[in-house]
Amino acid sequence: MPLSELLLPEFDAEMKTTRTMLERIPEDKKDFAPHPKSMPLNKLAPHVAELAGFGLTILTTPELDFSKSSRTRVSFESADQLVRVFDEGAAKVRTALKNTPDEAWTQNWKLSFQGKPIFDGSRFLAYRQMFINHLVHHRAQLGVYLRLNDKPLPATYGPSADDTMGF
């Protein structure tokens, strides 16, 4: 079985949970941050929404230097808009994931800024660490933001206090 087929169920589960989290973003709390050093919601939520596109970059290019990137940052217009951005990116990554041959996973992938390395390792590690783990990390932060604003948390790796799934 190709490695990509083994990764697809995890990808689908993480995207489903992330999408649900984005759907619940309070639009009236865009400037909310739980701490002065924390990213405000109007920066964190778009970052989560655009991370799916970063997965595509990892799967389809050999490297990325942020200083040479022409990408435009996603703004926070509404929860629906963030979900649309996320869905578009996730669909592209899912297609790329399905089409990634086993030999591509061991190829080197680099992330840098102005030539200074941020990550240098196998595409597999880049996909797991820089994309999936990164997405899960920021999604967990969104969970804290939701909880502190009395918004229900979706079940993630089991039921939440708000979504008990019959337990």
**Which structural domains are found in the chain, ordered by start?**
3-148 (1.20.120.450)
Q: Please tell me the pTM assigned to this model.
A: 0.92
- The pLDDT score that the predictor gives to residue 7 is 98
- The pLDDT score that the predictor gives to residue 166 is 52
Q: Who contacts 101 (Cβ-Cβ below 8 Å, separation ≥6)?
A: 2, 4
- The pLDDT score that the predictor gives to residue 164 is 66
The pairs formed by 100-108 with CB atoms below 8 angstroms and a separation of 24 or more are 100/3, 100/4, 100/59, 101/2, 101/4, 102/2, 102/3, 102/4, 104/59, 105/3, 107/62, 108/62
Q: How does 86-95 read in b/e, with b if 16+ C-beta sit within 10 Å?
A: beebbebbbe
- The pLDDT score that the predictor gives to residue 72 is 81
Measured between alpha carbons, how far is 105 from 47 in angstroms, rounded to an integer? Answer: 25
Nearest of 165, 36, 63 to residue 117 by alpha carbon: 63
Summarize pLDDT for 123-159 with one digit per residue, the tens.
999 999 999 999 999 999 999 999 999 999 988 888 8
- For the chain, list residues with pLDDT below 70: 164-167
